[in-house]
Amino acid sequence: VISKLPQTGTTIFTVMSALAAELGAINLSQGFPDYNCAPELVELVNKAMQNGHNQYAPMPGLMALREQIAIKTEKLYGAVYNPDTEITVTAGGTQAVFTAISAVIHPNDEVIIFEPAYDCYAPAIKLMGGVVKSLELDPPDYRIAWDMVKRLINGKTKMIILNSPHNPTATILRKEDIDELSALVKNQDILILSDEVYEHLIYDNEVHHSMARYPELQQRSFIVSSFGKTFHATGWKMGYCLAPAYLMTEFRKIHQFLVFSVNAPMQHAIAEYLKDENTYLSLPDFFQQKRDYFREGLKNTRFQLLPCAGSYFQSVTYDAITDEKDSDYAIRLTKEIGVASIPVSAFYRKGTDKHVLRFCFAKRQETIDKAVDRLIKV
């Protein structure tokens, strides 16, 4: 066959997790918890299955769940989404991202992304015949130079993809960024895809600047979130998308033929579980403690810590240790000391290597201890 994505290989998450498994290394590469999700949540799924909720959910998602999502969104960000027309439950964040891109990107439309960028954006844009325009950001702060973004905008610009808290860099959008963004898109026909799957993982009492907070941005945005991240259950592949009705109508045209609807018993369970706001409001404390613990440990190593304002990723540079490429070094660390990480060059289309490795700290304390003990020896 003629490949539709000739430049695309296997995602780095699969590659590094497989290597970690093969070598029995501590896997701090792909982002997922190594502890179980709440037993109450598992019990709610059991109950839903026993109660016979084992057939198709409605195409856009269970209404009870969409209603809870609407309540949460209004409570947190003040935005009112109509569960009937503006909320769709998806098979994880990645499906929502793909569906949103395929719903609105036509051949030759330009989409602006910021690199390092999560690895599913560019392939989805290309599959639709779109053109990726990227702005590379640099450690340690990965700040967006908005005047550079302005230079990328022209009549073909259809969408800007944002991701806050950001994977892999753990940065967050600040109010200044929102102001710059608002000024840029004002009176322009530019949509926003806002990947907010780490919306609840934000530290040091910072605010999550969801697009939902800003009406002039909200009305042009697809906002993606993830129950996998929020409820420590990445294997459930449950997420959702919010968008104004004119966008959600198009989104659902694709969604219905991509997956039709998603896992019914889990939707029942999550709808019930979301009624207790503490299930997500407790996350900043929970993860900040892990972040601080991991950072403390890393201070005893020769790695240099980059800032971590959100997400469950901590990046480091390693110039005091070696000048190897990050992709080589990540493999060597996995083999030689048994700790797997993600080389951040994987998130630049050009493979730009700034000598940065990303570690996931959504782990039990004993896992963090063990990993740090090994990293100290480097």
Question: Which residues of this chain interact with ligand GLN, rule CB under 6 A?
Answer: 13, 30-31, 94, 167
In the complex, minimum distance from the CB of residue 45 to ligand GLN, in angstroms, rounded to a whole number: 21
Identify which of residues 92 and 284 has a Cβ nearer to ligand GLN in the complex: 92
Identify which of residues 94 and 134 has a Cβ nearer to ligand GLN in the complex: 94
In the complex, minimum distance from the CB of residue 246 to ligand GLN, in angstroms, rounded to a whole number: 29
Phi, psi of 365 (to 5 degrees): -55, -40
In the complex, minimum distance from the CB of residue 129 to ligand GLN, in angstroms, rounded to a whole number: 24
Identify which of residues 81 and 231 has a Cβ nearer to ligand GLN in the complex: 231
Sequence-ordered list of residues with C-beta below 8 angstroms from that of 105, at least 6 positions apart, any chain: 111, 125, 128, 129, 130, 158, 159
In the complex, minimum distance from the CB of residue 233 to ligand GLN, in angstroms, rounded to a whole number: 13
In the complex, minimum distance from the CB of residue 29 to ligand GLN, in angstroms, rounded to a whole number: 7
In the complex, minimum distance from the CB of residue 290 to ligand GLN, in angstroms, rounded to a whole number: 15
Identify which of residues 31 and 165 has a Cβ nearer to ligand GLN in the complex: 31
Identify which of residues 232 and 252 has a Cβ nearer to ligand GLN in the complex: 232
Identify which of residues 83 and 116 has a Cβ nearer to ligand GLN in the complex: 116
